[in-house]
């Protein structure tokens, strides 16, 4: 395990990585269903907290595996077996999500035993991989050992949380402390590795593709949410105008979010500005969580038509509009970070970000659900339309300028004297 070539041509996701990603389809689905159920039962605050905790744990586990694999994937038998162990950990984590949601909804000590057990299983396998990398190439030994040490300390913290009967607030504070330790591992390890001449050799185009693939997996939740809403509506009133609009707009929403995400290519910029990777990588936690939350929100729409629940149009539309707004803002900021410039068309950007808020206001005034959902959907749709009508030129120009500036700095001769 000596490290991959960071400039290897035609580097793409492997079949093993795609198999690994399937477990996250299930994890996103369990988290999304539990979140939608919390909202339907009126436990919005607890649901938001539980969903945020679940998504951070799920996505962080995926991020750690993907960046390691980008740098050190040897595809030997031991790498494959340790990947299988991590997949088992994801499944166990997903099994524990409903109990964690239920305990927060009831305000009881957080039942995170199964969830944390699954997370620890994943992370122990990651530690083993980092120790392999530490012994595989002296150049990366400092970074790899630092990763293993910090992750190990964080896992001790997570195990302690299993045995502490903490109320939701106490658990939140303790989890923030342990998470901070966990999240610091890439920053500390890569910095130490760079100082010792051996930051991990992750591949920029490969990692950009991996993130794109997880975005698509998260978008699958919007399809499942649309299906769940359509089933509830058609059972309540058949194939009405409302049900047709919800199904159609749900699919359009998924497609527009996908289109918007893939407008700015990340790989070319990361290839010449590797320093941009940390903020870009961490920021995607919000992107993935927001996409999955849109799917949960679409699922909530179905509860509006279920006589066993009392979900208002305002609640359902807010469940979709808020994550769409988070997605659009986060993507806007990540784009600005990558190209070191604000995107053009400020009036369009303001309009796009205002539409989800307008939809919530319309719902509060009693407008039809389908109309409010249409207004939310227009937010990413207008970005796509503007892009195809010509704004792609300014986006491409920004990417080209960012790459050219980075290359110019790389070849600039040293100043004499």
Global pTM? 0.93
pLDDT for position 166? 76
Please indicate, yes or no, whether residues 180 and 258 belong to a single structural domain of this protein. Answer: no
Query: Could you list the residue range(s) of the whole structural domain that residue 234 is in?
Result: 203-410
Q: What is the chain's percent helix, strand, coil content, to nearest 5?
A: 80, 0, 20
Q: Please indicate, yes or no, if residue 351 is contained in any of the structural domains.
A: yes
DSSP state of 139: G
pLDDT for position 235? 86
- 417 pLDDT exceeds 50? no
Q: Please indicate, yes or no, if residue 53 is contained in any of the structural domains.
A: yes
What span, in angstroms and rounded, lies between the C-alpha atoms of 111 and 92? 14
Among 119, 121, 129, residue whose Cα is nearest residue 175: 119
Q: Please indicate, yes or no, if residue 2 is contained in any of the structural domains.
A: no
Please indicate, yes or no, whether residues 27 and 161 belong to a single structural domain of this protein. Answer: yes
Q: Residues 304-347: pLDDT tens digits?
A: 988 888 899 999 999 999 999 999 999 999 999 998 887 777 67
Among 264, 288, 284, residue whose Cα is nearest residue 216: 288
Q: Residues 167-192: pLDDT tens digits?
A: 778 888 888 999 999 999 999 999 99
Please indicate, yes or no, whether residues 215 and 197 belong to a single structural domain of this protein. Answer: no
Please indicate, yes or no, whether residues 175 and 30 belong to a single structural domain of this protein. Answer: yes
For residues 94 and 118, is the Cβ–Cβ distance under 8 A? yes
Please indicate, yes or no, whether residues 280 and 397 belong to a single structural domain of this protein. Answer: yes
What span, in angstroms and rounded, lies between the C-alpha atoms of 222 and 299? 8
Residue 161 sits at the vertex; the CA angle it makes with 159 and 166, to the nearest 5 degrees, is 165
Q: Residues 364-411: pLDDT tens digits?
A: 999 999 999 999 999 999 999 988 988 888 888 888 888 888 888 776
Alpha helices in 196-312 (DSSP H): 204-237, 241-261, 267-272, 277-304
Please indicate, yes or no, whether residues 212 and 177 belong to a single structural domain of this protein. Answer: no
Distances (CA, A) of 77 to 21, 36, 81, 121, 406: 19, 40, 6, 19, 39
With the C-alpha atoms ordered 165, 171, 174, 179, is the resulting torsion angle positive or negative?
positive
Please indicate, yes or no, whether residues 68 and 211 belong to a single structural domain of this protein. Answer: no
Of the residues 202, 227, 261, the one at which a domain ends = 202
Of the residues 172, 202, 232, the one at which a domain ends = 202
Please indicate, yes or no, whether residues 324 and 221 belong to a single structural domain of this protein. Answer: yes
pLDDT for position 411? 64
Please indicate, yes or no, whether residues 35 and 169 belong to a single structural domain of this protein. Answer: yes
Of the residues 145, 179, 202, the one at which a domain ends = 202
Please indicate, yes or no, whether residues 58 and 177 belong to a single structural domain of this protein. Answer: yes
- 414 pLDDT exceeds 60? no
Among 269, 375, 288, residue whose Cα is nearest residue 331: 288
Please indicate, yes or no, whether residues 317 and 194 belong to a single structural domain of this protein. Answer: no
Please indicate, yes or no, whether residues 159 and 233 belong to a single structural domain of this protein. Answer: no
Q: Please indicate, yes or no, if residue 5 is contained in any of the structural domains.
A: no
Q: Please indicate, yes or no, if residue 153 is contained in any of the structural domains.
A: yes
Domain count, the chain: 2
Q: Please indicate, yes or no, if residue 4 is contained in any of the structural domains.
A: no
What span, in angstroms and rounded, lies between the C-alpha atoms of 415 and 417? 7
Q: Residues 206-247: pLDDT tens digits?
A: 999 999 999 999 999 999 999 999 888 888 888 888 888 988
> Strand, coil or helix: what is 31?
helix
Q: Which residues contact 353 (CB under 8 A, 6 or more apart)?
A: 325, 328, 329, 332, 379
Residue 178 sits at the vertex; the CA angle it makes with 46 and 36, to the nearest 5 degrees, is 25
């Amino acid at each position: 395990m000596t490290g991959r070539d960071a400039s290897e041509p035609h580097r793409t996701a492997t079949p093993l990585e795609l198999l690994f990603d399937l477990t996250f389809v299930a994890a996103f689905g369990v988290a999304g269903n539990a979140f939608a159920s919390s909202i339907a039962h009126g436990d919005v605050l607890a649901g938001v907290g539980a969903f945020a905790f679940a998504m951070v744990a799920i996505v962080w586990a995926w991020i750690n595996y993907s960046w390691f694999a980008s740098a050190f994937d040897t595809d030997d038998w031991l790498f494959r077996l340790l990947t299988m162990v991590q997949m088992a950990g994801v499944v166990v984590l997903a099994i524990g999500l409903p109990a964690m949601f239920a305990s927060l909804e009831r305000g009881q000590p957080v039942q995170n035993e199964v969830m944390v057990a699954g997370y620890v299983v994943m992370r122990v396998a990651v530690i083993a991989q980092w120790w392999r990398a530490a012994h595989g190439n002296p150049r990366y030994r400092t970074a790899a050992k630092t990763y293993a040490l910090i992750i190990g300390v964080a896992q001790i913290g997570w195990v302690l949380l299993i045995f502490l009967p903490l109320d939701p607030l106490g658990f939140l504070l303790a989890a923030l402390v342990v998470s901070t330790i966990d999240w610091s591992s890439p920053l500390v390890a890569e910095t130490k590795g760079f100082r010792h001449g051996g930051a991990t050799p992750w591949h920029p185009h490969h990692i950009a593709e991996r993130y794109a693939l997880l975005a698509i997996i998260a978008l699958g939740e919007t399809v499942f949410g649309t299906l769940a809403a359509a089933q509830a509506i058609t059972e309540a009133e058949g194939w009405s105008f409302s049900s047709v609009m919800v199904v159609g707009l749900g699919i359009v929403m998924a497609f527009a979010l996908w289109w918007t995400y893939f407008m700015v290519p990340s790989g070319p910029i990361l290839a010449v500005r590797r320093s941009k990777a940390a903020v870009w990588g961490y920021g995607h936690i919000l992107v993935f969580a927001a996409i999955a939350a849109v799917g949960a929100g679409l699922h909530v729409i179905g509860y509006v038509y279920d006589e066993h629940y009392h979900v208002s149009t305002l609640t359902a539309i807010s469940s979709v509009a808020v994550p769409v707004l988070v997605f659009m803002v986060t993507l806007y900021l990540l784009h600005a970070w990558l190209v070191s410039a604000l995107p053009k068309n400020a009036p369009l950007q303001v309009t796009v970000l205002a539409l989800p808020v307008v939809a919530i206001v319309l719902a509060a005034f009693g407008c039809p659900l389908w109309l409010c959902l249409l207004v939310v959907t227009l937010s990413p749709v207008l970005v796509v339309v503007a892009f195809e009508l010509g704004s792609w030129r300014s986006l491409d120009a920004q990417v080209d300028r960012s790459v050219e500036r980075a290359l110019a700095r790389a070849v600039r001769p040293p100043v004499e004297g």
